[in-house]
Chain A
Amino acid sequence: MDIEENDELKTKHRKVAAYLSIFPGGGQYYNKQFLKGLFFTVTAISFFVVFYDLFNIGFWGLITLGEVPMEDHSIFLLVQGIIAVIVLAFGLLLYGLNIYDAFKAGKRRDQQLGKPSIREQYRNLIDSGFPYLMITPGFFLLIFVVIFPIIFVVLLSFTSYDVNNRPPARLIEWVGFKNYIEIFQLDLWRRTFFSVFTWTLVWTFVATTIQIAIGIFLAVLLNQEGVKFKRTVRTIFILPWAVPAFVSILVFAGMFNNTFGTINIHILDFFGIDPVPWMTNPLYTKIALIMIQSWLGFPFIFVMVTGVLQSIPNELYEAAKVDGASIWQKFKSVTFPIIMYASAPILITQYTFNFNNFNVIFLFNGGGPPVSGQNAGSSDILISWIYKLTLEQSQYGKAAAITLLLSLLVITVAIWQFRRTRAFKEEGMM
């Protein structure tokens, strides 16, 4: 910031105070802020007293993952270690604050501004502290719900935790990149990974695009002048969203049953079409999945686009009408660009959602039908494969490694998308 200018100040109170704060509170005493200093000292001491055990066991466990089988449980130690890291991070935050505070107070002395009154300090605290106060509860929750699991997965992917290496009888070891290497080195794993990966991409792209197209189409259709019963129809169109997805998917699983499902025995029969092997043929299962996801996913797009359409001023269309534009031309040059402009970020989140859409894959056919010679079913996407690897096959290390590979991809796409987003540029954030 304005360090250069600061260095020209004659006295060096700010630096002395900062160095003295290596011992928490030291700088504050030097600045004659005894109450504050006492606060930092006491906090620091109690921090160590309270968390001594956690740090001791936590960091030791994190490094060694245990030494005596049956007595040390590597996974518990790993969890404890992560908690220790998180607690330490909070400690560091406080410690940094302690140094920073001493530095700032010292600077005021250097600038000969005098000590702020208690009242002033209080006002200051409230003004700058208010937003922190409001976000702190949420932040704490996020640390445990979002950050903690991610640290665990990252660490897990470098361990030997699998079906044959399970505590307590065995200790888990750090194995570096072994899991990552093996996914690409072992034939079976490589084959499975690429076949699942390919289908994941196809699935994400096709299913999402179709659901977006249907949503936009229906919204535009219903927004035409002269269409009656708009409210009723809109209500019907929202229904698939209003029914919990897991229920609908299970219902679809019953409807698509080869022998007893209503699709084969009633609908296709009505049109004189032979029964289709929905559940046992990979291609038909995939088609069914895409149809189901379209059914489930279009209402959200429909609702959003309807909102956008209602906000388009009529004059735009009037102008187009004067120019003698056809319906299609109007859609192409007025409606569609506005929809895209307004809702592109949300539309793109639909792609990341489907990339990780576990429910529909798992509940419809459990990733089946099987394909020979690989570790996953033919309709498995990466996320459902990861589920099977952890919850059914106990391949924790590899599942974590695949999770991270997958995340790398999703996150890259997401960041790229957010960077392009208008809102960000407007705020000059990136």
Chain B
Amino acid sequence: MIKTDILIIGAGPTGLFTVFEAGLLKLKCHLIDALPQPGGQCSEIYPKKPIYDIPAFPEILAGDLTERLLEQCKQFKPGFTLGERAETIDKQEDGSFIVTTNKGTKHHAPIVAIAGGLGSFEPRKPLIHNIHLFEDKGVEYFIKDPELYRNKRVVISGGGDSALDWSIFLTDVASEVTLIHRRNEFRGALDSVDKVQELKNKGKINLITPAEVIGIVGDYEVSAVVVKQSDNIHIDKEFEVECDHFIPLFGLSPKLGPIANWGLEIEKNAIKVNNALDYQTNIPGIFAIGDVNTYPGKLKLILCGFHEATLMCHAAYQIINPGKKYVLKYTTVSGIDGFDGTRKEAPKATVKSIK
């Protein structure tokens, strides 16, 4: 059981900044995120894209923003449960909560802060009528352990970076790699496209374009996929490609998911909160901050998430330390005492006379 003061669901910019603000109040944080890395949308969808409305950053790449937020909060030693989705929440008799992930990891905290953005990222599944019958029986939407494909025949479909990169990687692992894409053009880093071209020329990647997988063949487990290929005079032909694994990589799309069943008031796919006070939900002790919440006048902006996180932490302090006095201090005055023993502080003024 992981124990913490504030359990944050979602490791995007709002969740990461919460760690910093909570740390100033000597509250410890632990974050859960369905993605394998922190940063949320900023890392997953647009790490190389600039953002122009972060105060004091005329321009910053979304990936760099994540890096800086991690740097800013690191002395407060946040814990992470990554690659797992928060599934259930159980309120305890003392008012605290136990949150369990889809992999069974349990987290115990008096305060839960949902900073889940648009939800957890789920793979986009291609529209193949019988694909659900083969999930985890040869069809995988994520590559978790490349060793699964050792000496196997693998078909990958998709045209983005992950389809390209995994095709390249698996040529050294699998016995046969086939890449299928609806077009001849791929989007992705230029060197990945070049590498796939090179591997195709060497016969290490079997490239089938423009084509798509329209069916799966197999008795319990995948034995082949049905491919429909168009030639340049628009005559389609269908054929089977024998394989042990089919890995469709069509990106991820966010879904509110299990959080929607936690008894929280939901409106417009977002969680209603009290914006006049502290961003608490209808369940005392559970807060919602950042893009995942809604209230009159809500704007889904990173900078609004930072503000909401700050007010939420102060409300959490009051719940965890009832009646205990606290006066807000400027960090310039208080300095920052990390949980790792480090201290940052403003240099003392030097007093020296001029003779």
Q: Do A and B come from one complex?
A: no
